[in-house]
Chain A
Amino acid sequence: MSDLDRLRHAMRVTERPGATVDLAAVMRDGRRLRTRRRVAGAGAATLATGLVAAIVAVVVGALPDDPRTVERPTQVAVAPPPVAVPPTASHPLGPTPTTTPGRGEPSPSPVGQIVDSGIRHGSDQRVFYVVQVSVPGEPRVTIGLAAGRRAPDGTVTTDLLVNDVEGADRSPGFHQIGYDSGGSGAPVPTFGYFVGPAQQIIGTVDGRQVGARLARWSADKQVVIFWFDPAKLAPGDKLDGIVARDGSDRRL
């Protein structure tokens, strides 16, 4: 038996079939974690006390020759029914104070201008906006991207928030992609942001290419917010790949 075979054999024969974990504790801890994510979403979204957002952390990784494919597990906390909050589009640009749940700090607000996607849900507009977030142990993650709905009276309801959970939120390339998880009052188009001079963003699903719509973040033009028309890419459908191209049609 070779060394490698012996190693494989040893790793298998030492399995303890009876080894189990405390499932009640697992589920209790999992529920707590889910709740913490919701609360973190509320604080990070800097929108309003009581606002709870879903946090999705899907990191889209790079492959050298093929369209980018999703490489990491998704971490999701499904939001309860969203809460409407006062309009925030008129808030000043620039950083807003980071709020921590329970500290009674000022209500959070979007950073920069709210982007109107042109998509309508009845009389509501589908909007996207950057918010400040705080991830423990990750000082270079300070922003996340939220999908929300703006009512005719200007109130904004957050449906989904995506943010990095490690690394740097301004590193070049794709960051997170938010997928509808069925937890909000209206389907959320697939959305995310790219850092760099992207002029086109193209997703691939089932061998079909779908172009995204783009808008640059008012506070940092390197941040390109993108979303897919729900008529072309059904909300919740996972992309098989995604690429960005510059004005010369060069892949970024």
Chain B
Amino acid sequence: MARGDAEFVEFARAASARLVHAAFLMTGDHHRAEDAAQTALARTYASWSRIRDDDAYGYARRILVNHLVDGWRRPIREYPTEEVPEQRRDDVADEVATRRWLTAILGVLSPRERAIVVLRYYFDLPEAQVARELDVSVGTVKSTSSRALEKLRSTGERAVDTEEACR
């Protein structure tokens, strides 16, 4: 294996889980998330000679998010309830409840709103960087983020109410 390829494999192994999860947060679909991460990594590999000494992870993340924002228009899907992935955590019930809550609240957002929420609160990027990565103004990031959080709050309250009503 060429040196560049070995470097890329090391990078991809380190980055893939987080990229897949970010894609999952944006789509709600594990298969779609894996496809998107694979696409982002393939494009990263295609440009590897150029970016490997730069911010390769940032490059892959930008490809991933823009790929999903541009290409994914369907509403977020529910998790298959029978699918409980391997977890390190002990309380599987809590884990499933958290996933359901997350699915419910992210499901009300548009693709761009989800992208901004994921970049801001999962990757913890500052607003200016989110704006650059999505090629929008900082004002758009602020207003969209605020709108998204308002939706999340109202949806979160309803989700809690529903959860309590079911008990």
Contacts and interface: CB of A to CB of B under 8 A. Distances in A.
15 contacts: A3-B149, A7-B121, A10-B98, A11-B118, A15-B18, A16-B20, A19-B16, A25-B38, A27-B5, A27-B45, A73-B51, A73-B59, A75-B46, A77-B47, A181-B49
Contact of A20 (B13, B25, B102): B13
Interface residues of A, number: 39
Nearest to A20: B16
A193 B99 CA distance: 49
For the complex of A and B, the 3 pairs showing the least CB-CB separation, nearest first, are A30-B45, A29-B42, A76-B50
Contacts of B105: 7
Given A7-B117, A18-B86, A77 B63 contact: no
Interface of A: 3-4, 6-23, 25-27, 29-31, 33-34, 37, 61, 71-78, 181
Interface string B127-167: 00000100100000000000001001100100000000000
Contacts of B48: 30
Contact of A73 (B13, B63, B117, B153): B63
A34 B46 contact: yes
Contacts of B59: 73
Nearest to B49: A78
A26 B60 CA distance: 12
Given A13-B98, A16-B20, 18 more contacts: A4-B121, A13-B95, A14-B21, A15-B17, A16-B17, A17-B17, A20-B13, A20-B16, A20-B17, A23-B41, A26-B38, A33-B42, A61-B132, A71-B132, A73-B63, A74-B47, A78-B50, A181-B49
A74 B46 contact: no
Contact of B88 (A17, A20, A31, A75): A17
Contact of A3 (B38, B43, B153): B153
Contact of B98 (A14, A16, A61, A73): A14
Contacts of A7: 102, 105, 117, 121, 152
A135 to B, nearest CB: 14
A29 B18 CA distance: 20
A39 to B, nearest CB: 13
A27 B8 contact: yes
Contacts of B85: 16, 18
Interface string B1-36: 000010011001100111011000100000000100
B82 to A, nearest CB: 16
Nearest to A182: B49
A26 B12 contact: yes
Contacts of A16: 17, 20-21, 85-86
Given A23-B13, A73-B51, A73-B59, A13 B89 contact: yes
B54 to A, nearest CB: 8
A10 B44 CA distance: 28
